[in-house]
Structure 1
Amino acid sequence: MGQVIVHATMTVDGFIADIGGEVDWMFGRPSAPEDDAVVANVIERIGAVVGGANKTQTIDDGEIPYGGMLNVPVYLMTHSPHDPIERDGITYTFIVDDIAEAVELAKLAAGEKWVSLLGGSISRQCLQLDLVDEIHLDVAPVLLGEGIPLFAGLEKRVELERLETSAFASETHLRYRVVHPT
């Protein structure tokens, strides 16, 4: 089975969105083909996504994982049951309160490909449960000062082994293996 990864673009001060949830700071920066190649390499290896459902359990345009660049199953965490939604050839399955189940279903769907975890809360919950194999961060050269953090609130220490580091025109790309306790 494939790996479970946290894949996120974040600011140097650790935020994945501004205080209102907007991510416009991610766009409009100069980039190099090498930046695009790093992200494309990750995207082509993703076979399923686990994220959080919005309060209305709908799939709005701005909430489509990876801006619609992926055509893979998406598992959304929620607190109340909801039938799956099909949109643009992608099936969104809602999982009630059991993140381990969501990850297991996503791994089965992904096969040998990766399961990408989206969002700070989802990532922290999976790290807490030792469900994460790797962390892939694309760090944008901006400080927001406040916003939605990726790792703040994680309630345990997680050791990482650096696998890869690269920096080009627009971002620094970091890849770590999660060192699981023995």
Structure 2
Amino acid sequence: MAKVIIHATITLDGFMADTKGSIDWMFDFGATDKTVIENFTQDIGAVIGGANKTQTIEEGETPYSDTLKFPVYLMTHEAHEPIEKDGRIYTFVVNDIKQAVDAAKAAAGDKNVSLLGGTIARQCLKLGLVDEIQLHVLPMLLGDGISLFAGLGERVNLERIEAVTTTNITDLRFRVVK
């Protein structure tokens, strides 16, 4: 059965983007351990992310690698027909994160569902839908920006599964205690 995983790169002060939503700063540190990323991506069966007027598709943003062809579920406030691009199906789900998780889990089969974005991560945590959190922590402080967990408004207990440290990045993996 598919696990639902929050997957994000953050700064030490917990930001996943700067105040303008840019993530360009994260590329200053080089890649995380390729084995960690390869192990994670080979187990992805579906992705859930946010849709900003289909920006993900129209502006060429693709979750993970173009070579991975898992389905992508995009949360939106307006109905939109599915879009197929480069062998990937983008399905739009209107205002129902649980429906998106259920559909993504069904599509993923025995693989994982990766949650991308703070709003989606927090919604799924509040509903008890998250099984694990995997973070790549960069050694920098942005000082301000878009936080992955700010606004969660409730306690969530975690159990550390793994911690891998390289020169530039610390990879952390936690199980959500339910």
TM range (shorter): over 0.9
Structure 2 residue matching 1:41: 3-state secondary structure: helix
In structure 1, distance between residues paired with 2:151 and 2:105: 26
1:31: Cα distance to partner?
5.1
Q: What letter corresponds to residue 45 of structure 1 in structure 2? A: D
**Using a 3 Å threshold, how does the CA distance of structure 1 residues 16 and 67 change in structure 2: closer, same or farther?**
farther
Q: Which runs of 5+ in 1 are unaligned?
A: none
Hey, what does 1:122 align to over in structure 2?
A: 120
Q: What letter corresponds to residue 57 of structure 1 in structure 2? A: T
Q: Does residue 36 of the first structure (1) align with residue 5 of the second (2)?
A: no
Give me the CA root mean square deviation.
1.4
1:69: Cα distance to partner?
4.8
Which string of whole-angstrom CA distances, capped at 9 and with x for unpartnered residues, describes residues 122-158 of structure 1? 0000000000000000001111111111000002110
Hey, what does 1:78 align to over in structure 2?
A: 76
How many residues matched? Answer: 177
Q: Which runs of 5+ in 2 are unaligned?
A: none
Structure 2 residue matching 1:162: 3-state secondary structure: strand
Contact 1:31 1:169 (C-alpha < 8 Å) held by counterparts: no
1:46: Cα distance to partner?
0.6
Hey, what does 1:20 align to over in structure 2?
A: 20
1:60: Cα distance to partner?
3.1
1:62: Cα distance to partner?
5.0
**TM-score, normalised via structure 2 length:** 0.95
**TM-score, normalised via structure 1 length:** 0.93
Which one of the candidate residues 132, 135, 139 is aligned to 2:133? 135
Contact 1:53 1:76 (C-alpha < 8 Å) held by counterparts: yes
Which one of the candidate residues 49, 54, 57 is aligned to 2:54? 57
In structure 1, distance between residues paired with 2:135 and 2:67: 18
Percent identity for Structure 1 against Structure 2? 58
Q: What letter corresponds to residue 139 of structure 1 in structure 2? A: V
